[in-house]
Structure 1
Amino acid sequence: MPTENKTPEALKVERSTVTKLVITGAPRLDAITVFLEDFGRRDCPIDSNPNYQTAQGKLTINCWDNSWNAYWGGMGPRTVAEFVADCGWDYVLNCLDRGISPTVFSGDALHTLAKKCIVQRRRQQTGRHDWELGELSKDEARNLWHDIDSLRSIESPNECWHQSELLTELFGDEWHYPIDGKAVEENQKFTYLRKVVDAVQQALRQEQQYVVA
């Protein structure tokens, strides 16, 4: 049977305005490439103005082998460059990497906390801190001091359960409470991204001042 020829439907094509910036000279950072993409405005009716429209845009940042991006669908009348420059660094950072924390769990930090616990319990300093258990004898402290080296290899809070017996001897049955938020160290990824965000915002504000001048 002959094949029916169908005229293909026209594709929908939309254009956006893209600005590329290359930022150099930021302390302890490689060159940062920034793409600012403005998608125009979309209808966003509100009670006071049924015809209200809000701008929408996307930010993409590349630095060395790292890349982050964020989209905003409600920037008001601002461009994405103006929006990012106006926002707090912490808000922009969280949009680029949702849920990232300034600290992360660390087996080394847990080991340090365990040493502190042993020393204070051995010296009967429990009143100064929230250790559930009381004084340790000399032999008990020596044995625990030897055993806690295994804590260094723990890479996540979930893995702590594999050392539940040891952690119970140190911190008591509710051991997860004293280590929560204390067995942590600086999150280098967070610190690095903050430096990048600071540099990008500084550059955008500098650009705005240049345009105004």
Structure 2
Amino acid sequence: MKITESKVTKRLLTDLERLDPVTFITEDLGNQRGKLTVDCFGEAWTAYWGAMGCDSVAEFIDSCDRYYLAGKLSNIDSTITDYEQVGKKIGVGINRESLPFLVDELFIAYGDEWWEELPTTDNPDYVYLCRIVDAVKAAVKIELSQ
């Protein structure tokens, strides 16, 4: 059996504007490898990098943009179908469950490949995750500047 130690740092962010407390853990695994785990309001996301190009996970987080980090932490889509706009166009109230029953109306309104043409809007879950990532990035930036 081989036992390996790694450097793990846990941080708690509180008093955040419009966010519950955020806990994030960085784990430096050596050789420019690392892991990030983020927890907020009972939800948790994690990402691993086998080749960061930086000596620490904190430096790597600082170098990345929010969208890349959100995409690595979760598979939440950045946009969702805007059912309100679809409903206005076809003249019927619509939601995810009723969509399959309105194929004829969707075909008339949006064409042969209607599923590709439906209007979208920002996904609130993705926007929320990006706000959490922004808080993590801000904390890392402060930490690295000290």
**TM-score with structure 1 setting the length:** 0.62
Deviation of residue 172 (structure 1)?
6.4
Deviation of residue 186 (structure 1)?
2.4
Q: List aligned pairs for 1:164-203, cutoff 5 A.
A: 164-168=103-107, 170-171=108-109, 173-174=111-112, 176=114, 180-182=117-119, 184-203=120-139
For 2:35, the equivalent position in structure 1 comes to: 58
Does the 8 Å CA contact 1:109/1:185 hold for their aligned counterparts?
no
Identity %: 30
Aligned CA RMSD, in angstroms, stands at: 2.1
Deviation of residue 86 (structure 1)?
1.0
For 1:108, the equivalent position in structure 2 comes to: 84
Paired amino acid for 2:36: L
**TM-score with structure 2 setting the length:** 0.88
**5+ residue gaps, structure 1:** 1-10, 42-54, 115-144
Does the 8 Å CA contact 1:57/1:80 hold for their aligned counterparts?
yes
Q: Quick one: which of 79, 86, 106 aligns to 2:56?
A: 79
Larger Rg: 1
| Structure-2 separation of matches of 1:198 and 1:40 | 25
1:70 aligns to 2:8 (yes or no): no
Paired amino acid for 1:206: I
Q: Deviations over 1:65-94 (max 9, x none)?
A: 110000001012420011011111111111
Shift >4 Å, 4+ stretches: none
| Structure-2 separation of matches of 1:12 and 1:175 | 55
SS at match of 1:36: strand
1:163 aligns to 2:140 (yes or no): no
Structure number with higher strand proportion: 2
Report how many residues are paired.
146
| Structure-1 separation of matches of 2:87 and 2:111 | 18
Does the 8 Å CA contact 2:110/2:118 hold for their aligned counterparts?
no
Deviation of residue 173 (structure 1)?
4.8
Does the 8 Å CA contact 2:35/2:48 hold for their aligned counterparts?
yes
- Cα 1:82/1:18, change in 2 over 3 Å: same
| Structure-1 separation of matches of 2:84 and 2:53 | 46
| Structure-1 separation of matches of 2:13 and 2:3 | 31
For 1:30, the equivalent position in structure 2 comes to: 20
| Structure-2 separation of matches of 1:173 and 1:59 | 43
Q: Quick one: which of 18, 32, 40 aligns to 2:30?
A: 40
**5+ residue gaps, structure 2:** none
1:208 aligns to 2:136 (yes or no): no
